[in-house]
């Protein structure tokens, strides 16, 4: 232990005596630490987002919608695409049991809401209680739609209160294209639960208000599932009162539950469409699981490329430290001879130069870790980027890699120093 402490003391003296050379030696190591921390935090964040996706939005997802390319492919033989009705959705649930979520949606894009003497433009979407099982980015006041509402085709609805736009949002574009601004103002400034409103002449009772949670608290999803919902009502009610025409097809969002069951359920859903409608090609079954896998793989590949660049920086730093250590050995040849003459062993000489090199690596690793944190958190936030989710162990691993790199590249110079014969070293000028 005393030998190591003496080596540390001598190393600090040598580093301080040659400050410029020492700084240049560990700068590449520091650069490698910055890149390593940033890239590794991105990979860790990818898998953390995947876990949050499983909890909040699910991963074994698919969506059925009409395939317009199939029906419009021939200019002469136009065949209207078949429409998925609510009865078709119920039959799907019967024929393919065990699905975690089967959530049909039908939208009427432009509706007139009347309340308090005002007439406001809005949009109406028909859903079922299964709608709340995934992507629920809301807090609920009142209650949501239940199966009793659907079975009895009740004229009840739930209003959506929009969250403020995220920082950097183009407010000019929102102002230009926001046709429902009056509706948003109404829901924001009035307690609507329990009130009655008219939608396209029909009286509806507001049973609940869903307030979007702020963008900063939402889970970033691998699949862009966001829809601009305004008013939700039982899909059966909208069909019964002709808000959704018989010619309109429902889109169906499906969650298979466990990822391992996804492929099997995908085949069962495709078979159902083929049997029910004669040709599954009339519909597109979007494989959202495959999209998620591709995005994860792309993110990991990008992170690994960046980590490779960081390892190259470590390698360059290690070569620099080896070069500097060799130069130090030849500059201190006489000192080595004196130490050998007074009884220092070869291992003592090797320890001296290895400790000095490792200290350079440690300093570079600590500096790089500090810079990596500054870049990953405050600087990224200031320039409008997402902060890197840096964990406490990442800088520790970075410093360990830096010290290990310096150790490996110091072995050869230290071995050269230990191999000098005392008599030859003492004759050196």
pLDDT score of 86 more than 90: yes
Q: Is 91 exposed, middle or buried (0-12, 13-18, 19+ CB in 10 A)?
A: middle
Least confident of 1-5, 322-326, 404-408: 1-5
CB contact at 8 A, 291 and 222: yes
Which of 48, 123, 31, 13 lies closest to 356 in space, CA to CA? 13
Least confident of 98-112, 363-377, 380-394: 380-394
pLDDT score of 427 more than 90: no
DSSP sequence for 130-152:
GGGGS---EEEEE----HHHHHT
Q: What is the pLDDT of residue 18?
A: 60
Handedness of CA 8, 10, 16, 20 (dihedral sign): negative
CB contact at 8 A, 101 and 130: yes
Tens digit of each residue's pLDDT (9 = 90 or more) over 308-317: 877 887 888 8
Q: Where is pLDDT greater, at 364 or 426?
A: 364
Confidence of residue 428 (pLDDT cuts 50, 70, 90): low
Least confident of 93-97, 143-147, 366-370: 366-370
Confidence of residue 145 (pLDDT cuts 50, 70, 90): very high
pLDDT score of 220 more than 70: no
pLDDT score of 349 more than 90: no
Confidence of residue 204 (pLDDT cuts 50, 70, 90): very high
Which of 428, 96, 419, 116 lies closest to 265 in space, CA to CA? 96
Tens digit of each residue's pLDDT (9 = 90 or more) over 235-261: 999 999 999 988 889 999 999 988 889
Tens digit of each residue's pLDDT (9 = 90 or more) over 1-45: 665 666 566 656 666 556 666 676 777 788 888 888 888 788 888
Confidence of residue 148 (pLDDT cuts 50, 70, 90): very high
Q: What is the pLDDT of residue 47?
A: 78
Confidence of residue 131 (pLDDT cuts 50, 70, 90): very high
Q: Where is pLDDT greater, at 340 or 271?
A: 271
Least confident of 67-76, 302-311, 343-352: 67-76
* C-alpha to C-alpha distances, 228 to 92, 109, 157, 217, 231, nearest whole angstrom: 27, 11, 16, 18, 10
CA–CA distance, 318 with 405 (Å, rounded to integer) = 6
Q: Which string of b and e fits 247-284 if b means at least 16 CB within 10 Å? A: ebbbbbbbbbbeeeebeebbebbbebbeebbeebebbb
Mean pLDDT estimate for the chain:
82
pLDDT score of 223 more than 80: no
Q: What's the pTM value of the predicted model, to 2 decimals?
A: 0.70
pLDDT score of 211 more than 80: yes
């Amino acid at each position: 232990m005393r030998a190591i402490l003496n080596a540390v003391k001598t190393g600090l003296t040598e580093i301080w005596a040659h400050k410029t050379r020492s700084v240049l030696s560990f700068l590449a190591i520091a650069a490698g630490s910055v890149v390593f921390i940033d890239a590794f935090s991105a990979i860790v964040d990818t898998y953390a987002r995947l876990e949050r996706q499983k909890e909040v939005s699910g991963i074994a997802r698919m969506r059925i919608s009409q395939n317009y390319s199939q029906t419009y492919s021939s200019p002469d033989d136009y065949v209207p695409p078949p429409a998925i009705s609510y009865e078709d959705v119920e039959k799907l649930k019967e024929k393919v049991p065990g699905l975690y979520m089967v959530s049909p949606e039908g939208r009427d894009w432009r509706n007139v809401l009347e309340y308090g003497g005002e007439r406001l433009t809005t949009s109406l979407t028909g859903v079922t209680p299964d709608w709340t099982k995934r992507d629920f980015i809301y807090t609920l006041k009142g209650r949501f739609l239940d199966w009793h509402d659907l079975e009895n085709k009740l004229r009840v609805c739930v209003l959506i209160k929009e969250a403020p736009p995220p920082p950097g949002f183009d407010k000019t574009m929102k102002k230009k294209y926001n046709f429902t601004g009056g509706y948003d103002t109404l829901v924001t400034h009035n307690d609507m639960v329990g009130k009655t409103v008219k939608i396209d002449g029909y009286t509806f009772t507001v049973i609940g208000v869903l307030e979007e949670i702020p963008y900063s608290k939402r889970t970033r999803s691998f699949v862009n599932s966001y829809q601009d919902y305004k008013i939700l009502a039982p899909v059966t009610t909208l069909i019964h009162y002709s808000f959704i025409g018989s010619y309109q097809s429902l889109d169906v969002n499906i969650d298979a539950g466990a990822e391992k069951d996804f492929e099997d359920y995908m085949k069962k859903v495709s078979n159902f469409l083929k049997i029910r409608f004669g040709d599954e090609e009339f519909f597109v079954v979007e494989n959202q699981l495959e999209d998620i896998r591709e995005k994860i793989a792309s993110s990991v590949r990008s992170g690994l490329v960046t980590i490779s660049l960081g390892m190259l920086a470590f390698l360059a730093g290690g070569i620099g430290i080896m070069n500097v250590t060799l130069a130090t050995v030849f500059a201190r040849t006489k000192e080595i001879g004196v130490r050998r003459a007074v009884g220092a062993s070869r291992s003592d000489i090797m320890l001296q130069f290895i400790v000095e090199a490792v200290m350079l690596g440690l300093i570079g690793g600590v500096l790089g870790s500090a810079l990596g944190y500054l870049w990953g958190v405050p600087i990224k936030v200031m320039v409008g980027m997402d902060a890197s989710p840096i964990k406490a162990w990442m800088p520790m691993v970075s410093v360990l890699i830096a010290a290990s790199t310096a150790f490996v590249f110091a072995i050869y110079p230290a071995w050269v120093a230990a191999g000098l014969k005392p008599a030859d070293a003492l004759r050196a000028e």
